Structure 1
C-alpha cells in the first residue's frame, strides 16, 4: 500500500532580495534592506533538533550583503516547501553557513574593507577551504560543511546574485577539493556476535517496565524500545522516529503483520514482516521476519501513548513515540523522540549495563550499527544469499554488498589461504598450475577430487559430474570446451530414452546456462561477445574431444 502523496502548499510571499546593478553589472544590495527587520529564521518541525538560526551576529561585521543574501536564500528554501528541499536539509545548510560567514568576517577584517557579493569567487572559496582545514575537524566533516555551503551559493548563482564560473582555473568551485574522501571515512561496523548477545540481554532487561500496569512512559524507555525494533528490523533512523500509529498492516498469511514505515528520501514505504507463530528466525518472501515480541512491543507502545496523541501538537499527531516531559521549561508537554534522545538513551544503557567492545571500551550503539548488524545476521541466516539480504534492507545488491556486509572469520581465513597459495605459486613460478586443464574446463585436484576414483595413479574422468564438483573452475578460455560439451549432451537426447536422458543429463545444459554463464556475465568474468563467439564455434566445429567420431557414448564418463 503506497502512501498518498501530499503536495505542500507554497507560500506566495517568497522572500526576495532587494538589489540593483551598478555600472559594472555587479549586484548591489539596497542599503535600506540591511539588516532585515527579522534576522531569525524559524525552521519549524523537522527530524533534527534545530528549530531556528539567528543571523544577527553577522550583520554589522563587514559582510552584510553576503549575510543578507544567505539569510534570504535559507528563507526561500523553506518557502518552497519540502517538495524542493527538506526542512532538515535546510537546517543543515544553515549550520554549515556559520563557518562560511565566520570566515567572511575574518577576511573582511584582514582586508580592512567590507565584502560584497562580487567577492564570492574562487579566491574566497579557496580561503574558506583553508579555514575549514584549520578548524581541526575531520576531513569528512570539512567536506560536509563545504558541500552544504556550496548548495546555498549555487542557488544564489542561479538567481544571478553571484557570478558562477564553471570551468577553467578561475572556476568558482574547485573540481575535487577533497580527493579520495570515501577512503577517509570511518563507517560504522556491525556488532560482533558477543557484542550483539550482550546488547540483546541488556535490552531485554531494560524494557521490562513497559509491561507493568502502572508504567510511566518516559523518553528513555521509549528510546530503548525503539532500539529493540531497530535491532530486529534493520530500519533507518528517520523512518523509525516518524513511525505512524497505523504502521502495523495485515499480512496475507495468518499470524503475520507488516510493519510499514515511510522513507522520506526515496518517497516510498518499506515493510518488514512480523510474525507471531514461532520464535525461530527465518526469512519469508524476501523480507525479514522477527520475533513476536517486537510486534507486541509496538502494540503496547501504541496503546500506552494513545492518550498523549490526543494532546500532541498538530505536527506530532499520529506519531507512535510520544511521551510527556517531567522537568525543564517544557515540563508536562507532549514531545516525540528525536535523534538526540536515541543517542542519550544508548549512552545511558551502555553505562548502566557496562557494555564493552572487544577492546574493553564502552560499546558504541547507534541505529547505523544496528542496521548493519541486522544485515549481516540476515546474510548469515540465508547462507550468503545477497539478493534476499538486499531485499530485507530495501537496497540494491550492489549497495548492500559494498556498504553493509562485513567479511566474517571464515571469509578472512579463505582469503588468507588464497593469498598463501598465490605467494607460493609466485615463489615457485608455478602460477596458474593450481588448476589442471580438462575437456570441460579446469580442475583443482583431478586425482583426489570430489568425484575422483581416489585410487593410486588414477585420474578422474567423471566429466558428467564436473558441474557439481567443488574443484571445478571455468575461465573465459574454457568456454569453447564447455559449449562443445554442452552441445554434445544435447545431442544425446536423440540417442537414448527420453526419461533416461532427463534423469542423467538434462541438468547439465541448465546448469551451464543459468549458473556458469549467467553468473560469469553478472560478475563481469565473461563478456557477452566472447560467450556468443564460443557458443557459435562449438555449435559448428565442436572441440575434438567431444566429437561423435572420437567418443561414441557419454556413458563412459558417467
Structure 2
C-alpha cells in the first residue's frame, strides 16, 4: 500500500497580493482590489506609542500598486509571515520607513507625469530616494534609520517576486554601503556624572515618598518615578521594565535576597537581577547607598496598589505591574499602563521641579539608556574595573559591555592623555615599564629582557607558563586572584588533552604554586590564610577574564 500524500493547509486569513503577470512577465496588480476595503493597519499594543497606520493618503496618488503591496507586506509581517518581527518593529517600518518612501514615490510620479508601477522600484528609484532623504535636513544617522526601515519591507517584497530584486553588481537594487562610516557619527547616551547621579537620586527619593502613604492616588507620574528608581538600581532596559509581570519577584537561594525576572523580547529570553531584601538601614542596592528605599519593597508596594485595577484592565495588560487609571480626556477612567512617553514626561517634570542641571547648567537629560549606562559604570567602579562582573550585572557579554556601556567620560580621557604622556617620556628615556609592570600572572621585574623573554627589540615576554621558574617573577597578595585563575585554568586542561601529555607538560605548575609560592608566602607572613582562601574561591567560581576559556582557547600559545 503506497504512502498517502499529505496536502498542506492554506490559511486563508493570511494577507496575500492579488496579482497577475503581463506579457513581459512583470507583476500587475488586479485593478479591482485597489484600494483594499480597509486602508488601516492595526498594530495593537506594543512598545511604541503607535497603534495603527493608515495608507489612505497614498492611494489615488499615482503609486497605487506600490502602496498596495507595501500595505499587504506590513499585514503579513503582523501575521507572522516571512520573518518573526515584533509589532513595535513593524510600527517603525511604517511611521519611519514607508511614510517617507511612499511620499517620495508620490513626488516622483508627479514629476514624471505618470503612474508608477512595481517595475519602477529599481536602483534608479532607490538612488533618488537616498538623495531625497539627504534633502530632508536630518542627520545621516537618521537618514540611515529611515532607509533601513524601508529596505526591510522592500527586500521582503523582492524575495516574494513582487518587485525586481537584483542582489549584486553595479545595478544591484540596493547600493552596498550608502552611509559609509555612519557608525562613527553616532554618539550614544553617556552615564550620569557623580554629581548628577547624587542630585538625581536625592530628587527620586523625595518624589517617590508619596507612594508609601495610605491614601496615595496612583497616577502615571508616580508610577513612572517608581519605575525610574527600579531602572537606576537594576540597569535593565526600557521595554522589559515597562512590561514587568506581576509575578516578577522570585525566590533567591540566598537568604534576604530576591530575583527580579524580566522578559527580553529581542533575545526571547528572561533576564534576572538579584535584589537585596530589607535590612536594618534599608539600603537600596550596594551600587547606590544614597537612596534609602528598598527596590524589592517598592515593587511589592506597586503590585499591591495596582492589584484592584487588574480586573478592569484590558486583557493584554492584566499581567502588567505599572497599571493606573487614566485621567486623559480621550479615555478618562480607563485602565492603562506606563509607556515610554509617560516615562519621558515624568523625567522632564522631575528635572524641572527639582532644578536638576548638567555640568553646563542645562536641564539634566534623563532616560532609561542613561540610567543603564550609569548603573554599568557604577558597578565597574565598585568592582575595581572588573569587566566580567559588570557584564554579568548588565546581562551582556564582556565585549558588548565594554564597547557600549563603559565609554570613557571626560575624566577618563584626561587620564588617558596623561598616561600617554608618561609612556612617551618612558620611551624617550628608555625606562619603559618602570611605572607599571603588572602581568596576567602577577608582576615582572623585566618583561623585555627577562629570563624567558624573547629579547628582541620592543618585544614583551608572553611566556607565562615559565613565569614560576623565572627569577624576575614576583607575587604579592594583590596578585593571588590572577595566580589562582591561572592555576585552575591549568587544571582545566586535563579534560582537554591526553592525560600523559598533561602530566608531562602541565602537572608541575599547580604543584609549584601550592608547595612553593603559597606555602612560602604563608610561612613568611606575606600572605594571610584568609586572603589566600578568598582568592582561591573567587578564582574557582569566577576566574580572571584573561584566563577564561572564552579569551584564551589554548595555553599552548604561551609555551
Who is 1:444 aligned against?
434
Relative to the length of structure 2, the TM-score reads 0.79
Shift in Å at residue 410 of structure 1? 6.6
1: CA distance between counterparts of 2:549 and 2:122? 46
Who is 2:519 aligned against?
503
The answer on whether the counterparts of 2:441 and 2:467 sit within 8 Å (CA) in structure 1 is no
Q: Secondary structure at the match of 1:245?
A: coil
Who is 1:122 aligned against?
123
Q: Secondary structure at the match of 1:103?
A: helix
Residue deviations 1:177-211 (CA, integer Å, cap 9, x gap): 11111111120000000000111111111111111
Residue deviations 1:103-149 (CA, integer Å, cap 9, x gap): 00110011111001000000000100111111111111111111111
Who is 1:324 aligned against?
325
Deviates more, 1:471-480 or 1:155-164: 471-480
Shift in Å at residue 420 of structure 1? 1.3
Shift in Å at residue 274 of structure 1? 1.2
Question: Residues 502 and 34 from structure 1, CA distance in 2 versus in 1: closer, same or farther, beyond 3 angstroms?
Answer: closer
Alignment pair present for 1:25 and 2:8: no
1: CA distance between counterparts of 2:219 and 2:171? 56
Who is 1:164 aligned against?
165
Q: Secondary structure at the match of 2:171?
A: coil
Deviates more, 1:258-267 or 1:402-411: 402-411
5+ unaligned residues in a row in structure 2: which ranges?
1-9, 472-505, 527-534
5+ unaligned residues in a row in structure 1: which ranges?
1-9, 436-442, 452-464, 536-558
List aligned pairs for 1:105-504, cutoff 5 A. Answer: 105-278=106-279, 279=282, 293-407=294-408, 411-424=412-425, 428=428, 433-435=430-432, 444=434, 468-469=442-443, 473=447, 477=459, 479=461, 486-487=468-469, 503-504=519-520
Question: Residues 275 and 59 from structure 1, CA distance in 2 versus in 1: closer, same or farther, beyond 3 angstroms?
Answer: same
Q: Secondary structure at the match of 1:207?
A: helix
Q: Secondary structure at the match of 2:223?
A: helix
The answer on whether the counterparts of 1:283 and 1:382 sit within 8 Å (CA) in structure 2 is no
Who is 2:546 aligned against?
519
Q: Secondary structure at the match of 1:13?
A: coil
Question: Residues 484 and 30 from structure 1, CA distance in 2 versus in 1: closer, same or farther, beyond 3 angstroms?
Answer: closer
The answer on whether the counterparts of 1:259 and 1:272 sit within 8 Å (CA) in structure 2 is yes
Q: Secondary structure at the match of 1:28?
A: strand
Q: Secondary structure at the match of 2:260?
A: strand
Question: Residues 248 and 281 from structure 1, CA distance in 2 versus in 1: closer, same or farther, beyond 3 angstroms?
Answer: closer
Question: Residues 258 and 485 from structure 1, CA distance in 2 versus in 1: closer, same or farther, beyond 3 angstroms?
Answer: closer
Alignment pair present for 1:77 and 2:87: no
Residue deviations 1:519-548 (CA, integer Å, cap 9, x gap): 399998x997xx74773xxxxxxxxxxxxx
Shift in Å at residue 504 of structure 1? 3.0
The answer on whether the counterparts of 1:46 and 1:88 sit within 8 Å (CA) in structure 2 is yes
2: CA distance between counterparts of 1:491 and 1:62? 79
Residue deviations 1:405-445 (CA, integer Å, cap 9, x gap): 1336774454223321344467x5x5xx223xxxxxxx527
Q: Secondary structure at the match of 1:257?
A: strand
Who is 1:53 aligned against?
53
Question: Residues 406 and 129 from structure 1, CA distance in 2 versus in 1: closer, same or farther, beyond 3 angstroms?
Answer: same
Q: Secondary structure at the match of 1:400?
A: helix
Aligned length: 488
2: CA distance between counterparts of 1:450 and 1:306? 59
The answer on whether the counterparts of 1:277 and 1:292 sit within 8 Å (CA) in structure 2 is no
Shift in Å at residue 22 of structure 1? 0.8
Question: Residues 408 and 90 from structure 1, CA distance in 2 versus in 1: closer, same or farther, beyond 3 angstroms?
Answer: closer
The answer on whether the counterparts of 1:45 and 1:51 sit within 8 Å (CA) in structure 2 is yes
Q: Secondary structure at the match of 2:23?
A: coil
Shift in Å at residue 318 of structure 1? 1.0
Question: Residues 300 and 505 from structure 1, CA distance in 2 versus in 1: closer, same or farther, beyond 3 angstroms?
Answer: closer
2: CA distance between counterparts of 1:54 and 1:64? 14
2: CA distance between counterparts of 1:395 and 1:199? 26
Who is 1:44 aligned against?
44
1: CA distance between counterparts of 2:440 and 2:71? 70
Shift in Å at residue 224 of structure 1? 0.8
The answer on whether the counterparts of 2:275 and 2:285 sit within 8 Å (CA) in structure 1 is no
The answer on whether the counterparts of 1:11 and 1:79 sit within 8 Å (CA) in structure 2 is no
1: CA distance between counterparts of 2:462 and 2:334? 75
The answer on whether the counterparts of 1:44 and 1:52 sit within 8 Å (CA) in structure 2 is yes
Who is 1:554 aligned against?
none
Q: Secondary structure at the match of 1:178?
A: coil
Deviates more, 1:405-414 or 1:145-154: 405-414
Question: Residues 422 and 466 from structure 1, CA distance in 2 versus in 1: closer, same or farther, beyond 3 angstroms?
Answer: closer
Who is 1:13 aligned against?
13
Deviates more, 1:235-244 or 1:77-86: 77-86
Question: Residues 470 and 114 from structure 1, CA distance in 2 versus in 1: closer, same or farther, beyond 3 angstroms?
Answer: same
The answer on whether the counterparts of 2:276 and 2:284 sit within 8 Å (CA) in structure 1 is no
Q: Secondary structure at the match of 1:73?
A: helix
Q: Secondary structure at the match of 1:259?
A: strand
